[in-house]
Amino acid sequence: MCLAYPGKVIAIEGDFAKVDFGEGTIRDGVNVSLVQPQNGDYVLVHAGYAIQIVNQSAALKTLRYWREILAALPADRASYEREVRGGLT
């Protein structure tokens, strides 16, 4: 039971926040009493409650790392099969 989605807190009123999950999906009434975020924080939301604040610097570091990995991959499928998969059985 690990379904949780990251979204950005765009408004807070007491225990509840309006969270923007991107691509037009905005949800009101997300309970944030377990995490106490600030406006602009990203939170992980599970069954209507925010369970953790996303650590932005760790997230940005992770995204940079992923971009490096993906950039280092061969550009086309054939090269990928040869250079990456070729070494594996």
Residue number, 33 or 39, with CB nearest to another protein: 33
Contact between 89 and another protein by CB under 8 A: the answer reads yes
From CA 67, how far away is CA 84, in angstroms rounded? 17
How far apart, in Å, are the Cα atoms of 44 and each of 1, 6, 54, 57, 75?
Answer: 14, 4, 7, 15, 33
Contact between 49 and another protein by CB under 8 A: the answer reads yes
Contact between 2 and another protein by CB under 8 A: the answer reads yes
Contact between 18 and another protein by CB under 8 A: the answer reads no
Which stretches of the chain bind another protein, using CB under 8 A? Answer: 1-4, 29, 31, 33-36, 44, 46-49, 51-52, 54-56, 58-59, 61-62, 66, 69-70, 88-89
